[in-house]
Amino acid sequence: MESPLFLPVLATCRLLLAWVHFPVPDGLLIDHQLTSPLTSYFRLKEGLWLYHHGVDPYVGGILKHSPLFLSLFSTVPLGRVAWALSDIVGAWALVRIWRSRQQLGQSRRDGLVGTAYLLNPYLLLPSLASSTSTFENAAVLLTLMFAAEGRPSLALLALALSTHLSLTTLLLVVPVLMLLATSPTSQLASPRLFGESYWKVLRYASEFVVYWFVLVCAASIMAGGVWNWMRESWGASLILPDLTPNPGFWWYFFTEMFDHFRPFFLMVFSTHLVIYVMPVCIKFQHDALYAAFLLLGILGAFKPYLTLADPGLFLSMFAVFPEIYPYLRHAIVTALLHAHASLLLPLFHALWVIEGRGNANFYYAASLVMGIAGGAGIVDACFAGMRIAVGSVPEAERGKWEVIQE
């Protein structure tokens, strides 16, 4: 992994995997762990068929994707190579984020960082299942890459695109704006108050709103001049119209919910996501990139329509922060919880959906294990980021985790 050719070879192998056109099992393409109503390629294809035949694809509640996906796939014939290229772009962006954080042109760790993304099964399997979450993750990483490299216009445009494709990415707006006004280098060991110009942050926020509004208008034009796509696409994350099972918490809870209480608990669950933003950004105001990393972990645990690609992005980003490794207290427990969940989810899914020998409680129990694994990773990463400042690891142990730089 230390060879400079390792990452290009790995990217080439990923392209060949898409180019060979080996048969992907149908079960993988409709697996509830890999795709959701908001990322399903089957739903997108059905929406494309309606769009090409002059029927509003957002009538009927089938299509939940952004009109930008609809326009892209109806204009350019995209196959598996598009998902492979998106994976490669995501890995490249992750490596660039690592280099910006370390202020390096190139390092021996680049291959390891890229491998953490390209060979992550939580990310590879949704990509093979043609889930559009692959494109959403690439957009998020491009946002962080441009912000870490100090390229505000590109970062804000990528942020507007990522929030347009997935509304829950709005949680990253505050840390990205802070990152644009500060340095991406690690400041965890020397916390300080956010002392940058608030006028600069306000100017970046205004520019983001302009980009976002332009994308909204463009999407409405692509959707045929109608605005009902907002309810079907963005509204799905707020009102949860489709209770298709997934590895998250929301679907089972609202399956058992009385209609009378549904609006209240929708508000509670949505607010629960938002309340983390300010505490995390205030506590880690000295390291906005780390704050964005933690918020990605929160999305990977509590997102309304969760797939494995969401916690997969959070786990891959651990490779960018090697300075926290000696401060992690429960890394083995978190890894075992993820291994346990990754075995239980397909097993209980097959028993319930395919064999018909189980019930929803089986699958939801595995979803709870996945949620506990995600929560354990977030808590451990949060405390590790705070413990660095007090230097609670002995010097002898800390030396084992020194970052090799060139």
Q: Is residue 96 part of a domain?
A: yes
Say what the pLDDT of residue 80 is: 83
Q: Is residue 20 part of a domain?
A: yes
Mean pLDDT of the chain: 87
Write out pLDDT tens, residues 229-248: 898 899 999 999 988 899 99
The domain in which residue 228 lies consists of: 6-401
pLDDT for 402 beyond 50: no
CA distance 237 to 219: 18
Q: Is residue 301 part of a domain?
A: yes
The enclosing H or E element of 314 equals: helix 309-316
Write out pLDDT tens, residues 74-116: 887 777 888 999 999 999 999 999 999 988 877 788 888 999 9
Write out pLDDT tens, residues 129-170: 989 999 999 999 999 999 999 999 999 999 999 999 999 999
Say what the pLDDT of residue 21 is: 66
224 sits in the region (left: phi over 0; alpha: psi -120 to 50; else beta) called left
Q: Is residue 230 part of a domain?
A: yes
Q: Is residue 33 part of a domain?
A: yes
Say what the pLDDT of residue 4 is: 67
pLDDT for 26 beyond 80: no
Higher-confidence residue of 184 and 225: namely 184
Q: Is residue 30 part of a domain?
A: yes
In angstroms and rounded to an integer, the radius of gyration of the C-alpha atoms of the chain is 21
Write out pLDDT tens, residues 185-237: 888 878 888 776 778 889 999 999 999 999 999 988 887 777 888 988 999 99
Q: Is residue 1 part of a domain?
A: no
Say what the pLDDT of residue 406 is: 41
Q: pLDDT exceeding 70 applies to what percent of the chain?
A: 93
Q: Is residue 406 part of a domain?
A: no
CB-based contact 141:158 (threshold 8 Å): no
Contacts of 285 (CB under 8 A, 6+ apart): 178, 193, 194, 291
The pTM score is 0.92
As for how many domains the chain has, the answer is 1
In the structure, what pLDDT confidence band is assigned to residue 22 with cuts at 50, 70 and 90?
low
Say what the pLDDT of residue 52 is: 85
